[in-house]
Structure 1
Amino acid sequence: MFAARIRTSRRGAGPMGIAQDRVVVGLDNGGTANNATVLSHDGAFLVDGLVEVPSRVLEGPAIAVEALAGAFDNILAVTKVDRERVAAVGLDTPGPATADGVISSKGSTNFSQPAWWGFDFRGALEQRLGLPVIYNNDGNAAALYAHHVHFGADANERSSVSAIVGTGLGGGVIEQGNVIKGAAGMAGELGHVHIPMHGLLEEGQPLPSCGCGFLGDVESVSSLTGIVRNLLPYWLTRFPDHPLHHADTIRAAAKQVRSFAEQGDELALHIFDQQAMGLGRLFTIAANFTDPDCYFVGGGVVEAAPHFREWFLAKVREYTLLREEQAAVATFALVPDRDMAGARGAAIAAAASLESR
């Protein structure tokens, strides 16, 4: 449970302003499933694992909003919490979206249908539930959760940067316990930061491209999509007898790379070494831009075998160039509870919103 880690707020209220006997609900919207959690006034999450229902986002906004409402009802039934006790709802979705939860006018991977472009997801859910809904993108929500778990009672005096490695590369920047959203709500889109490629790429290795149209950004290297588009096709040419040549598709092969790396496979370790260097160069930029207290790495590497994820984190630390003064005070850590981090971070954001009311 998380109770001891959330800072207590004003007199008569629990963590970040949740009043006695009230709760907040966190909803994490994904491409296939919605996960939900409940945060009580005393700082405890009322479920320890995933509580999922299908997200149905491919069926369009109206059905997707109903699916989220179903996830909301389901988590209250699972936790036996009366609806009248819910003070607010936290929502996170994949980005890009504005700070108010309006999906990008160009859509995104999860929201590719024209009906989603410019759709006010937060507002639609708020109208459907009749409760305040607080929005963050999924990278920011996971970053917020990691920050509060790591720093506990000191969370509001600390800063952090998180890189969440998945299909793409999400992230979040936290300052004094709060998500930095930016003017349009698109701060923390760390995957699309350009990084130096000299010394990261092998001689003759093509400049990696990103689905966003950029060349040489972090996501083009440090993501599953980066493995599919750029890294694995190159490294297979260097290892002509590798078993991954026999996979049905390059994407199927890419999904097996981590398991090969856990076994010490040379090709796979080359790929993850380049991914770690990509994150290290991103964090080097962050060190000179925000100088955070902690650098978090999340995503699939968190679910890997312990020896591999520790190797990967050590590589990221090795490739992050810090000044002596920074190295003395900064820490590196993995995002905990990856599958739960989004919903829990969304709940923390909703709880924090009550403090200012």
Structure 2
Amino acid sequence: MDAADVPVVVGLDNGGTSNNATVLTLHGRFLVDGLVEIPSEVQRGPEAAIEALARALDGVLARTGVRRERVRAVGLDTPGPASATGVISSRGSTNFSQPAWRGFDVRGALERRLGLPVVYHNDGNAAALYAHHVHFGSEAMARSSVAAIVGTGLGGGVVESGRVVAGAAGMAGELGHVHIPLDGVLAPDQPAPVCGCGFAGDAESVASLTAIERSLLPYWLTRYPGHPLAGETPARAARLVRGYGERGDALARAVFAQQAAAIGRLFTIAANFTDPHAYFVGGGVVEAAPEFRDWFLATVRENTTLREEQAAVATFALVPDRDMAGARGVAIAALEALRAGPAPRPVVA
């Protein structure tokens, strides 16, 4: 069958600066190998951003040669916080800072603009879903996983039987705001970090770029006062520290060891709550040199306490294809929504 005649779903990954798009056939084959990006226009407000998403869809269809009438559904992800149905938080967010975005139904607006069904997930859930399906392949619908995605904050997702657990209000999988025990994570004289959400001692307060800038680096620079990063602005130093970590720098490894330990504590909670088959780690912290990446994942594993029975069946892995994971994850969600049968009838009347 010619590519133009193949029925497909389209995945659209919306970010603070760019939209990335992909195309997935109904047989589960991606027609795009790399990034297909255009500006997201989110800083110009909802109307401009919705038009940019429509252009992203048209552009990826032109790239693959698929006719628009062959699109059966669209998957959309955005940064959170947002509801399970794609309504941006009434308090806004980092990427959606303008007042017009507060409480805006981005999924519904895109659905009306395109005239196609639109399935929504936040970007952490989308990456978690993609990691799950890539890792488990044909067994994905019979497996479960938890993913922690380290970025400016700490996102993530919980996947059960191949589908994202969204929760009643769409807030399931907000792993960054789970409180973790900090004994053994922080140094004895290290102040307890505070998350941007106001929580003290949640996972994001340690395992995020924001945590490095606000809490971890300021503390560790007092222990390494002659370090080159002491001469940088806090924001720049936070972005440079991974490069030092890749080179085995003691200060940087101390910072990232604390982040890995925090994720391990988070996964320990998950082990006792969802008991998943796999634990995934993603984000910029693992988009690094192989030795550093392997060290970080091993440190997460060392700090995750599993029962013997759990350890025998659980795996630890990295989220693959970071830049494409969002678009591919929501494309998978759109395809699964098309395949889903009717809801089961109630057992008890």
Q: One fold, TM greater than 0.5?
A: yes
TM-score (norm 1): 0.93
Tell me how far apart the structure 1 counterparts of residues 70 and 313 of structure 2 sit (CA, whole Å). 42
Output the amino acid matched with 1:168: G
- Determine the C-alpha separation between the residues in 2 that align with 1:38 and 1:302: 26
Work out whether 1:37 is the aligned partner of 2:22: yes
Q: Does 1:254 align with 2:238?
A: yes
CA distance in 2, matches of 1:289, 1:229: 30
Q: Look up the match of 1:347.
A: 331
Distance 2:286 2:198 in 1: 28
Residue 203 of structure 2 corresponds to which residue in structure 1? 218
Q: CA offsets, 1:137-184, max 9 Å, x none?
A: 000010000000000000010000000001110000000001000000
Match of 1:85 in 2: 70
- Structure 1 counterpart of 2:45, from 47, 55, 60: 60
How far off is 1:301 after superposition? 2.6
The alpha carbon displacement at 1:356 in A equals 2.7
SS of residue paired to 2:88: coil
Q: Which amino acid aligns with 2:23?
A: V
Task: Note the C-alpha offset of 1:199.
Answer: 1.3
Aligned-pair identity in percent equals 73
In structure 2, C-alpha distance between the alignment counterparts of 1:233 and 1:45, rounded to whole Å:
44
Give how far 1:21 is off. 2.5
1:189 corresponds in structure 2 to 174
Q: Per-residue deviation at 1:42? A: 2.6
Residue 302 of structure 1 and its aligned partner are, at CA, apart by: 2.9
Moved over 2 A (4+): none
Q: Is the 8 A contact 2:8 2:71 kept in 1?
A: yes
Q: Could you tell me which residue of structure 1 aligns to residue 192 of structure 2?
A: 207
- Partner SS for 2:83: coil
Deviations 1:198-244, CA, capped at 9 Å, x for gaps: 11111221110111111111001001011011101111111110000
The residue number in structure 1 matching 2:107 is 122
Match of 1:101 in 2: 86
Alpha-carbon distance between aligned partners in 1 of 2:143 and 2:27, rounded to the nearest angstrom: 22
Distance 1:56 1:47 in 2: 23
Instruction: Give the distance between the partners of 2:265 and 2:322, measured in 1 at CA.
Output: 23
* 1:284 matched to 2:268: yes
Q: Is the contact made by 1:139 and 1:164 (CA closer than 8 Å) also made in structure 2?
A: yes
Check if 1:304 corresponds to 2:299. no
Deviation, 1:44, is 1.3
Equivalent pair of 1:313/1:333 in contact (CA under 8 Å): yes
Q: 2:227 is matched with which residue?
A: 242
The question of whether the paired residues in 2 share the 8 Å contact of 1:169 and 1:219 is answered with yes
Aligned length: 337
Decide which moves more: 276-285 or 64-73.
64-73
* Partner in structure 2 of residue 267 of structure 1: 251
Structure 1 alignment gaps of length 5 or more: 1-19
* Inter-partner Cα distance in structure 2 for 1:115 and 1:109: 13
Task: Tell me which residue corresponds to 1:4.
Answer: none
Contact 2:6 2:66 in 1 (8 A): no
Q: Distance in 2 between matches of 1:174 and 1:42?
A: 21
CA contact (8 A) 1:200 1:278 kept: yes
Letter in 1 for 2:114: L
2:286–2:296 contact (8 Å) kept in structure 1: no
Instruction: Find 1:160's aligned residue among 129, 145, 157.
Output: 145
Q: Distance in 2 between matches of 1:232 and 1:312?
A: 18
Q: Is the 8 A contact 1:31 1:55 kept in 2?
A: yes
RMSD: 0.9
SS of the counterpart of 2:63? helix
CA distance in 2, matches of 1:289, 1:157: 18
Partner residue in 2 for 1:8:
none
- Aligned with 2:308 (options 318, 324, 331): 324
Deviation string, structure 1 residues 289-348 (Cα, Å, up to 9, x no partner) = 000000000001331001110000000000000011111110000001011000000100
1:333 to 313, 317, 342: 317
Q: Could you report, residue by residue, the CA deviation over 1:253-283 in whole angstroms, capped at 9, with x for unpaired residues?
A: 0000100000000000000000000000000
